[in-house]
Amino acid sequence: MLRRCGRIGYPPSNIVFQTLTRDGSDVSSSYTPLQSFIELSPRLPPYVMANISSKNFTSPTPIQRHALPLLMEGRDVVGLAPTGSGKTLAFVLPALRAPPRRSPSKKRCVPQCVVLCPTRELAQQTEQVFGAMLLDSSNDSHTVAVAYGGMDKSIQRLCLRGASIVVATPGRLLDFTMDGDVDLSEVQMVVVDEADEMLKMGFDKDVRAIMDDMPNRSQTVMFSATWTTKVRQISQEFLSPLHLMLSSGTHTSGTSLNPRIRQHVLVTQNKRESLRQVLTSPEVVAHQERVLVFANTKTRVEELAVSISQRECLRAEALHGDIPQELRESVLAQFKSSDIQILVATDLAARGLDIPHVNYVISFDFPGNLPQYVHRIGRTGRAGCSGVSFLFLEPRESRCFSSMNDLKVFLQKSEQTIPDFMK
């Protein structure tokens, strides 16, 4: 039986933490990690502290403990930590430490803080975290606007006017800057969230164009669960020479591991039968566990969702890029509220989505690279909870999968059981 989440807490004994400068020197002793959110009270507005308390955040997560003291002082930081470890709050709180400056222009947005996200879903979730910290705030507090593709630009343009914090996907923000609706010359803090995914999706040119419009004095922050060569290179471009790298968890090949996820890799002659066995297992059925199933193609996602609904009589819905945005948001909302027990998705749902209490993640198809697998399983085991993941492989896949050795090393470092075919 999986451990259920109550109040949020992270055992420090499970964390290996490093604080490094660009030249690789360890500077862990140069600052004091945060022990309690109450230590931030002199630096944050009272309503923010009240909202932290109302969310039952009893103690900072490991990445928050180490990042917050540095970010509150205005330092440039690269944060590498497992998904679901609290990275968003680690940059949201520092963004609220300074009071907003009101722009003299009511027709343009001149933000103090910009958060870049690779997907509209992550942008929406980040906006929600800001909103939760701004509840019951005064009229002169920060205002947050979100901008992403696929929605009416005229509506977003109106929301941007006067906003002191902008959360956006790079392409849409660049559109607004080129149109003159957003002026980045006064940005004091910029956050690049899920930096590796941003580059993988081809946003590097947009990110560079946006950063070029910002003042050199801007505090720059990058967060991710994986750390690739390309991200290292771009961090050298935009972060100061004295920036710090924070890495939490167990690591292998630039990947931050979550020790709370129990991983199973199964070679099976019939993936659909293996999926049926997991979904109809006593533990899943009895406790109505929430399950996220990943497949590689939109067609496979649709087929599996229909098959699960019809054959297993379980409420399942599909999620992929061809589904209209309004329907995608509805499906996600129903999954979060447990109206839908099974969500079948492409890797659209592998990054950034914070869905509480996803107990099982099943990779019906393997994505073909280790970082994407890591982000899939990272949808469970979040916020101090335990989780279970399954990866199904057909015999031919287990023999020819090019990254099988990387997966073996990953499992070993995660202290997981190694399947016989990998030994």
Residue-wise pLDDT tens digits, 343-396: 998 887 766 566 767 888 999 988 767 777 877 887 887 666 778 889 898 877
pTM: 0.66
pLDDT tens digits, one per residue of 100-155: 887 666 678 999 999 999 888 889 889 999 999 999 887 778 999 999 987 889 99
On the question of pLDDT at 163 being above 90, the answer is yes
- Mean pLDDT of the 303-316 span: 86
Domain spans, the chain: 17-248, 256-422
pLDDT for 58 beyond 90: no
The helix/strand/coil state of 32 is: coil
- How many CB atoms within 10 Å of residue 331? 20
Which one, of 221, 168, 214, lies nearest residue 187 by Cα? 214
Domains 17-248 and 256-422 share a fold: yes
Helix residue spans in 44-201 (DSSP H)? 46-54, 62-72, 87-95, 120-133, 153-160, 170-179, 195-200
Strand partners, 79: 223, 246
- Each residue's pLDDT tens digit, 213-227: 898 778 999 987 777
DSSP reduced 3-state for 30: helix
Q: Is the pLDDT of residue 48 over 90?
A: yes
Of 152-161, 373-382, 413-422, the range with the lowest mean pLDDT is 413-422
Separation between Cα atoms, residue 297 and residue 316, nearest integer Å: 17
User: Is the pLDDT score of 25 beyond 60?
Assistant: no
Q: pLDDT over 70 for what percent of the chain?
A: 82
36-40, 243-247, 261-265, 308-312 — which is least confidently predicted? 243-247
Q: What percentage of residues in the chain have a pLDDT greater than 90? A: 31
Across 221-237, average pLDDT: 78
Assigned architecture for domain 17-248: 3-Layer(aba) Sandwich (3.40)
CATH superfamily of 256-422: P-loop containing nucleotide triphosphate hydrolases (3.40.50.300)
